[in-house]
Structure 1
Amino acid sequence: MIAAVALTGYAVLVGAVAPYGLARARWAHRAPAVAVLAWQGLMVTFVVSVALAAYHLVLTEEHVHQGLVGLLSICGVAADVPAAAPSGAPRGPEAGSAGGTEAPAADAVTLLAPAAVALLPLGWLLRTVWRSRRARQRRLDLLALVGRPAPEYGATVVDHDVPAVYCLPGRRPRVVVTRGALDVLSDAQLRAVLAHEQAHLTGRHHLLHMVADAFARAFPGLPLARRAGEQTALLLEMVADDRALRRHPRETLAAAMCEVAAGRAPRSALGAGGPGALIRVRRVLAPQPRPHRVAWLAIVAASVAAPVFPLLLTCGPTL
């Protein structure tokens, strides 16, 4: 019971308190890739903590003393550890076949709650992947009808007055540029914003978007779910900005971002404009030093270690 209370408190801290602190962290915009890792770590930590808390709430007294080994024995991983017998039932060979029949059923019931917690976001992730793939395919079919290939830019041009540049990730990635964007962007600005979109494609940023979206759908109303989706989207745009800045001047990229800021990418696509463009322009024009290497490593280590702490609590009785 103590472990269940500790794990529940840890889940509350990760799901309801930590998101506000991380969203306000000044270092996040200076190291957006590390910040994305931190948000992903919080989501994994929340799922692990809630699943193990549910396990501790329903497990038997014998499994309490066995800790993680008790959990593994239920799963059949640690076969040498005897399964818990019902309270008051014989422990020796005289238990007979009845006890052996009841134990697996009781163990299966014990795993239902933690399995449901773990499978809920996984199910939403699979659904999100399926829906995103369908939406991208519909968009690709539409582009085949209304788009015009532009090999000189490695993109597809569509006849639309609003300046917009976005990419459609997937097996057949496509960068899309509207006629309005070609009218207002210089050649240097266009190539800078195209480098931004290529960074999204090579970094496979859409996968991280889908993870955050699935988590938000699995746990609606949770502060971590709401904040993780918003911050992941903004931070990934900053990661793409940094990649584009390796080959293009800051002023050129900032000017291009201002021109396409009003353009909205369709669902399942990643665009250079949209919400957060002003924050990114300011960041591009007024760069801040990256966190010290020690601080950077400490943040990465904390993000990786956070999901391990609930496992240590579960292992505690066996140590």
Structure 2
Amino acid sequence: MITAVALGGYAALVGTAVPALLSRARWPHRAPVIAVLAWQGLMATFVVATALMVYHLVLTERHVHEGLVGLLGVCGLAAEAPVSESAPTLGDVLALSAPAVIVLLPFGWFVLCTWRARRARQRHLDMLTLVGEPAPGYDATVVDHGAPAVYCLPGRRRRVVVTQAALDVLSDAQMRAVLEHERAHIEGRHHLLHLLIDAFSRAFPGLPLARHAKEQITLLVEMIADDRALRSHSRDALATAMCEVAAGQAPRGALGVGGPGALIRLRRVLAPRPRPHRVTWLGVVVASTVAPLLPLLVACGP
């Protein structure tokens, strides 16, 4: 019971208190890649801690005292597990299914969200074959629309799309800057991060960690793409382009340069701040890696 309480407290801390602190921290916007890793570490930690807590609550007293080895023994996966005189009971099977559901629920939502996003992208790609035209010199597809917008469709049939209004208002330098932003999304497979946080928020609705992670990772992914565009284009070109297309809406399953938090990103592009000290980001990496392992160390205890 003490182990279950400890795991439950750890899961509650990771699922409620830590996300609020991390979302208010200043360093993530200066190191968005490391910040995304931190949020992923929190999500993995919550799932592991919650699953192990449920295991310790519902499993029989005999297997709880045997720790994680007892769990593997019930599954028939641990060769060194203590020998039991009786076969696994129905209660053992049901007990194992409870933590398994917690682990598999986000995975199931991820598969479903991926399927839905792929269908939405496919419908949009089919539409582009009818109304889209190649953009000379930009390796993009142009659609005749009155609102300036630039977005990408990731996946196997990846495509960068610009509206005619965007071509009319953006200069060549601005257009190339936003196109580099979109290619960063495609090459970085950022749509998978969107699917991951969408699945996690659906698996655990109402959880503060899910809400904060979805808001922050969505913004951080855009910052990562901004940083990629700034490697080869000026800050002024990207910032002015962002202002022009900020109101443009990307379809479902696509990633647009306007994106969320456009004002926050605009300030970041025009007034860059130094990256966190090496000790800071190294500590975040270590903490993000170790945090999901701590519940396992607790559960492995006899």
Q: TM-score, normalised by structure 2?
A: 0.97
Q: Tell me what 1:53 maps to.
A: 53
Q: Structure 1: which 5+ runs fail to align?
A: 85-90, 92-98
Deviations 1:147-188 (A, max 9, x none): 001251110000001000000001110000000100110000
Amino acid at match of 1:71: L
- Cα distance in 2 for residues equivalent to 1:175 and 1:151: 13
Deviations 1:217-263 (A, max 9, x none): 11111111111111111000000000000000111111111110010
Equivalent pair of 2:149/2:166 in contact (CA under 8 Å): yes
Q: Which of these residues, 254, 265, 273, is aligned with residue 258 of structure 2?
A: 273
Once superposed, which parts of structure 1, at least 4 consecutive aligned residues long, lie more than 4 Å away? none
Equivalent pair of 1:74/1:83 in contact (CA under 8 Å): no
Q: Which of these residues, 228, 234, 237, is aligned with residue 249 of structure 1?
A: 234
Equivalent pair of 1:52/1:314 in contact (CA under 8 Å): yes
1:186 aligns with 2:136: no
Q: Structure 2: which 5+ runs fail to align?
A: none
Equivalent pair of 2:45/2:292 in contact (CA under 8 Å): yes
Q: Tell me what 1:216 maps to.
A: 201
Amino acid at match of 1:152: G
- Aligned residues between the structures: 302
- Cα distance in 2 for residues equivalent to 1:80 and 1:248: 59
1:66 aligns with 2:66: yes
Q: Tell me what 1:5 maps to.
A: 5
Deviation of the 1:35 alpha carbon: 0.6
Deviation of the 1:274 alpha carbon: 3.5
Equivalent pair of 2:27/2:276 in contact (CA under 8 Å): yes
- Cα distance in 1 for residues equivalent to 2:271 and 2:83: 61
Percent of aligned positions that are identical: 69
Amino acid at match of 1:137: Q
Q: Tell me what 1:303 maps to.
A: 288
- Cα distance in 2 for residues equivalent to 1:43 and 1:18: 11
- Cα distance in 2 for residues equivalent to 1:277 and 1:80: 56
Q: TM-score, normalised by structure 1?
A: 0.92
- Cα distance in 2 for residues equivalent to 1:217 and 1:16: 16
1:23 aligns with 2:23: yes
- Cα distance in 1 for residues equivalent to 2:263 and 2:97: 47
- Cα distance in 1 for residues equivalent to 2:226 and 2:83: 54
Amino acid at match of 1:249: S
Deviation of the 1:83 alpha carbon: 5.5
Amino acid at match of 1:107: D
Amino acid at match of 1:285: L
- The alignment partner of 2:301 has SS state of helix
- Cα distance in 2 for residues equivalent to 1:274 and 1:126: 24
Q: Which of these residues, 207, 215, 218, is aligned with residue 230 of structure 1?
A: 215
Q: Tell me what 1:113 maps to.
A: 98
